[in-house]
Structures are given as structure tokens and as C-alpha cells.
Amino acid sequence: MPLSAVASAREILVNLHDVMAARRPAQAKLNAVVDIIGEALDSEVCSIYLLREGVLELFATRGLALEAVHVTKLALGEGLVGTIAQHGEILNLDEAASHPDFAYKPETGEDRYHSFAGVPIIRRERSVGVLAVQHADPRKYADVEIEALQTVAMVLSELIANAGLIDAGGPKDRVQSTASIRISGQKLVDGMAAGCAVFHQPRIVIEHTVAEDIEAERHRVYAAFDKMREQIDRIAREAEFGVGDEHQEVIATYKMFAYDEGWARRINEAIDSGLTAEAAIERVQQRTRQRMRQIDDPLLADRMHDLEDLANRLLRIVSGQMGTAAQMGLRQDTILVARNLGPAELLEYDRRRLKGVILEEGSLTAHVTIVARAMGVPVLGRVRDVRRLIGEGDLLLLDVTEGSVLVRPSASMEEAFDANLIARQKRKAAYAALRDVAPETKDGHRVTVMVNAGLRDDVAALDLTGADGIGLFRTEFQFLVSATLPQRERQQRLYKEVLDAAGDRPVVFRTVDIGGDKALPYLDHGVEEENPAMGWRALRLALERDGLMKAQARALLEAGAGRTLNVMFPMVSEAWEFDEAKALFEKQRAWLAGRGKRLPAEVRYGAMLEVPSLAYQLDLLLPNVQFLSVGTNDLTQFLFAADRANPKLAERYDWLSCSILRFLHGVVGPARDAGVPIAVCGEMGGRPLEAMALIGIGIDRLSITPAAVGPIKAMLRTLDRAALTAFMTDLLRAPPRDMRGALATWAADHGVELA
């Protein structure tokens, strides 16, 4: 029969507490544990597998053949048990044999059991074993039963560690070499920095999991919550003096998590089941990590990271282990190393000595990345096994531009790094000197160079780079950093401040591109998507949720009062979608006019060409648009059917392929004939060689990252556009296999600056 929630879980823990306190050999205790769990879950089989010498060994069982104990062994990744241990994930199956990883071990006699549920036994953030139950009848175990198994697994980790039954530490827990190595990662915040490795926080090992006095544990958690909230309030107040308004929204969202009653309630429920305060926090945190593994959407996962960061803070408070590196103080130039960070954690560090950050996780949209960018701190993310590869105090040379970090560099490596840093600073100075120079080719062709933006603070890049305007303002960013849907007034205020800061330079506002792989926790459209990048997102979602789009239309129209307003719709796949979106805006314009509201002097409408199907409806689209922008990031993955986030497909994701250039060339002609300006806004336009190829096929408007403006201007000043156009015509007519190589050779032969 199924568990009766908390009461049954507590009963199991009370019985386990008696077992653990008894003076009996560890093996006898484990034998008793499987009987207790099997009885409570009315499960015919309960088994414990432990990791010994890198192999999972059946250590105790109720229901399987006893002669299989200490005989049945599974490698990590082998069978259902090996899969659970390798990935740290839960399996709950009504028919075990149907799972692709199922492996039958005849000596166990498990062939008569159909259902299977297993949870990892975690110790110091790594799997050290598996707790599994089985039943003859096909059935899935209830959520409350799975949660009870996870709670028991936590208690088991303490028992087996104290008994010395599992591998101690292992290679993943310590640095194995003193040699110099280069580690790669994802570029999150650009820059170079040198400093000594400092780990953000020491591991907190929970030694006692079963509570003696539940009410005392509850009071400890209440006190810890009060202290944590005081800390977050203080950080939020102090952040006002160093971070812009968007980043205040990040902190405000983070603060909302700290006051989330649902989170506190889940920790209380774990205490009710019989866990100590520390174990209850860790138990809920494990559940959060499990959910994170199941979340494909990186933005929702980022918000789960915020919650995990707060859980770490709460755990340190309740355990009395308050010593993060920030609180102990940085004594020298530091590269901070962490699995992940919350924005408040980062703001606690001394900015004079914090030179860079390395994260095992992290993403471009994570809150910590946003705040780090505002602080000017380089960040390298997705660096695996940092605790194995980097030791506390190691000298690190961080080069996010190259996407790597040098660990324990030799003297020659340090010299090369310093030389590279000096050269990069000189190039940066040279690019800065081009700020007031027009982006013009050697033969006098003027190219429009604009920047991409998503924050109010990004508008400052116009003056710093001398860009012609903002060719893509991603309005969804305000939605992504907010805990709730931004009200129309907040949207309007942001858009007006951006327009004011841009002055007479144009700003192209792209309407919200959310949904799909940019899911918002407060906007659920109730559909599980296997391929969210090609799912219910952007204009598709906005036309369905027209209330959201109407609010944004009014905010943009009122913000643009008396000016020229440029509005662009994302992911248009058919011409009628553009027509419908434009009609919605025009209806809102008429509604505002009827109420005497001041309106833009002119509204110019454009479409993003990201979906290849739109290229075959240009005759229907071009008569109705004032401009067209090609989003090369999505366009390329759709053309190649190659997920741009998949590293295995990285070599095939080449913007200088014949297919991409021919496709773009086929779009340029009709747009030019229709008198519709066409721009490229994407990473492709910000790379000198790729930008050169775009100029050669007739594109003369680019919208790129601010850091790329200088290099693109330098390239244009050395380029003969007429000669390039003739070369590109021949190249596309008879393309070589290596288009990139052919273009690079031409550039070198004609003195085009690509550095």
C-alpha cells in the first residue's frame, strides 16, 4: 500500500535511527534497513548497491537471491542501477525491462519483478550507491514513496560513510597533477584576467541527518531564514550604488525567492519527516538539482540556480559554517571558482581584487552573468571538473575571449599571456580611436554599423563605439529577469529611457521573443516541446497571447511619442503573421489616438528573416515592410538542421558555407529591387571575415555586439568592395569545398585587416 506521506516517512526514519544507534556490524545494519524500507513501501524487493573500487556492488537485499549479495556487480552506466549512479538521477518504471538501459542479472532472480524505482545515494555531491525497490505487479511508485526513498538514501549516506563501506574521495575530489593545463569553457563575459584560484565556498558535509527534536530543528531553520533574508535585504540596498536598474530587477527577483513561502514549506515538511535542519535543506536542494537536470530550458534552469544559491546560503547559516571566500576576504588578485553563483553572492566580493570568475555551470542568461557584465568581471562558464583540475591557490590565466583558462602556467606561458594582454589592449585602443571614423570601405562605400542591445545600460555603447544606432533591442530581456510579467508602465519607461539615451540615432525594438527555449516560469503554455527552438515561441506565442502583445504595443507607441519608432517582429515564418502583428499594432495606435495620446511621428515595421520558409514569400512580404533583418543564428541552425548548442555539430555550423551565402544572396536581390533595406543582426556580422563575405554579397547594414564594432570598422577601411563583389560572384557560381579558406586567402592577398 502507498505511504501516508510525512508520517510514514518519519516512521521509517525512527526505525532507521534505532538501527544506526545499535551496536551491530554495518552489514547487519544494511540488512535491517532493506527490511524496514520494503515493509514500509509494501515492496517485495528492496536492495542497496554501494560503489566500491569504481564498481556498484549489491550489498544488501530483501527479495532478491541472497547468494547474489557481494556477487552481483555493475559498472557505472550499466543497467538501471548503473544509470542512476552515473547520472545521479531517479528512475521510476512500471515495466523495468522496457527501459533501454535494462540489464538482466540471472543470479539475482529478479526476472519475476516488473516495477522498479531507484534513487542515488549521494555523498559530497557524488553518487556513492543506489537504493532500489521492485514489485512483481507493474506499477509506478507514488511521488511520496520516491521522496521517502530519497530521504532514506540521505540517511544511508551517513551510515555507509561512517562504516567505511564506500570509496573514500576518489579522483574527482582532488587535484591529481601539478602540471600546466588549459581548460576550455563557454564565453559568458568577455575579458582577460590573472589571479590565484579561490573556491567560493568549502563543502558543507552533513554529518547528522536524523533529528532528535523536530521542534528544535524547526526553530533553527526559522532563525536561519530570518538571518538569510536580512543578508539579502542588505545586499539589495548596497547594490543600488553600483549596478544599473536592470540589475536591480535581477536582485529583486532573487529577493523574491528568499521570501518564497513554498520553498520554506518544503523544508518544513522534510523536517516533519524526521530530518535535521541541515539534512532537510539538503534534501530539498537535491530535489531542486534533480528538477534542474530535467529542465531543457536554460532560463528556467537559471532561476533554479538562484534557488540553489539561496539554499547554500541557508545551509551555511544553519550549520554555523559561514566562511565563504567573500566573508573571509580576498587577500590578492583572485579568480573565483564555483559550481555556480547567485547574483547576491557575487556582489559580496571585493571588486578591487576579484579579477574573474570560473563556473562549472552558468549560462549567458544567468542572473550572475548579467551582474558580472555590469561589474566588468570576466566569466568563463561550463568548465567541467574544476575541483579535480584546479587547486586552491593555483595561478590562473583567464582568457574568456579564447574561451579558456591556463592552470599553473609556466613562465613562458605567463610571458605569452602578458604579451597577448598588451597586444589586445593596444588593439582595443586602436579600435577606440576609430570611434568617430565612418564605417566606410576603401573605395568609398558607406556601411551602416549598429549594435545589439537588451539593457538600458547597453545604450552607452553607442557613444563608446560610434555606432550608427541600435539595430536590435531585445525587449524580452526585461521579461526574463522579472519574477512576474512586467507591467505596461514598466515596459514603457524602459523603452522611453532607451530612446532618450540614443538621441537622434535609430533604435529597432524587436518584440518579445519568449517561449520555446526561453520559457518564463510565470507564462506556461502547457505544451512539452522536444525541440523548443522550433516551437511555440516569439511571434507565434505573441499572436496567441495577444494581451501580452497589445500591452507591449501600447508601451512602445507611447514611449515613441513624437519620434520615429522602429518595430521588428521575430521569427516570422509566413507573410500573414507579419500582417497580423502589424494590424495589432495599428489597432492599438488607433485606440491611443482616440484617447488623445501623443503618438510617434512615424512607425516603421520590419520582420526578422530567421525561418527559411519566409524567403519564399518575399513577394508577399516586401510590399508591406519598411526593413528586413536576417537573424543568422537561428537561420543557420534551421537551414542545416543543426542545433547550434550541440558541440558535435559545431564544425557543420559554418556561416561561410556555400548554402548560407547563396541563401542570403538570394534574399538580397529581391529586397534591393523592392527598395527595402536589409540588415544582418547576429554573431555572423560581428566577425571580420564573415562580415567581409556579407559585404561582398550586397549586405551593407550590420547589427553586432559593441565589442565587434572596432574590428569591423578596421576591416572595412582596408576593403575594396568592388573587387570583393566580383570575387564573391565567381565564388558563389563555382564554390570551392573550403569557402572559409578561399575567403581568408583573398583577404590576405588584398591586405584586408581581419585581426
Q: Bridge partners of 303?
A: none
From CA 50, how far away is CA 46, in angstroms rounded?
14
| Number of continuous H segments (helices) and E segments (strands) in the chain | 27, 22
Q: Which three cell numbers stand for residue 30?
A: 544494511
Range from 346-350, 503-507, 713-717 carrying the lowest mean pLDDT: 346-350
Q: E-assigned strands of 581-706?
A: 602-609, 627-630, 678-681, 701-704
Mean pLDDT across the chain, nearest whole number? 82
CA dist list (Å): 395 to 335, 342, 413: 9, 24, 11
Amino acid at 162: N
Range from 331-340, 363-372, 432-441, 678-687 carrying the lowest mean pLDDT: 363-372
pLDDT at 336 over 90: yes
> Are 409 and 391 a contacting pair, CB within 8 Å?
no
Residues 6+ apart with CB under 8 A from 626: 566, 604, 605, 606, 676
Q: Bridge partners of 539?
A: none
3-state helix, strand, coil in the chain (%, to 5): 50, 15, 35
**Helical packing angle, 721-733 and 688-696, nearest 10°:** 80
Q: E-assigned strands of 17-54?
A: 45-52
Cβ-based burial of 470 (10 A; exposed 0-12, middle 13-18, buried ≥19): buried
Q: What is the pTM of this model?
A: 0.58
The SS3 call for residue 72 is coil
From CA 390, how far away is CA 378, in angstroms rounded?
18
CA end-to-end distance (rounded Å), the chain: 69
Angle ∠(71,72,78) on CA atoms, nearest 5: 150
Q: Residue 242's pLDDT is what?
A: 43
pLDDT at 343 over 90: no
Q: Residue 558's pLDDT is what?
A: 95
From CA 524, how far away is CA 516, in angstroms rounded?
10
DSSP state of 486: P
Angle ∠(408,410,412) on CA atoms, nearest 5: 145
Range from 384-388, 427-431, 476-480, 669-673 carrying the lowest mean pLDDT: 476-480
pLDDT at 515 over 60: no
Comparing CA positions, the residue from 421, 384, 382, 419 lying closest to residue 399 is: 421
Cβ-based burial of 176 (10 A; exposed 0-12, middle 13-18, buried ≥19): exposed
Q: What is the pLDDT of residues 386-436, one digit of tens each?
A: 877 888 889 999 999 889 999 999 888 999 999 988 888 888 888 888 889
The arithmetic mean of pLDDT across residues 670-694, rounded, is 93
> Are 321 and 204 a contacting pair, CB within 8 Å?
yes
Amino acid at 125: E
Residues 6+ apart with CB under 8 A from 262: none
Amino acid at 412: S
From CA 243, how far away is CA 347, in angstroms rounded?
10
**Helical packing angle, 706-717 and 411-432, nearest 10°:** 80
Q: What is the pLDDT of residues 253-290, one digit of tens each?
A: 667 767 777 778 888 888 887 788 888 888 787 776 66
Q: What is the length of the chain? A: 755
Q: What is the pLDDT of residues 93-127, one digit of tens each?
A: 988 888 888 888 888 888 788 899 999 988 766 78
Q: What is the pLDDT of residues 606-658, one digit of tens each?
A: 999 999 999 999 999 999 999 999 988 788 888 887 665 555 555 566 789 89
10 Å Cβ neighbour count for 100? 5
378: confidence class by pLDDT, cuts 50, 70, 90:
very high
Comparing 373 with 700, the larger pLDDT belongs to 700
The SS3 call for residue 269 is helix
Residue 567 φ then ψ, to 5°: -120, 135
Cβ-based burial of 348 (10 A; exposed 0-12, middle 13-18, buried ≥19): middle
> Are 77 and 86 a contacting pair, CB within 8 Å?
yes
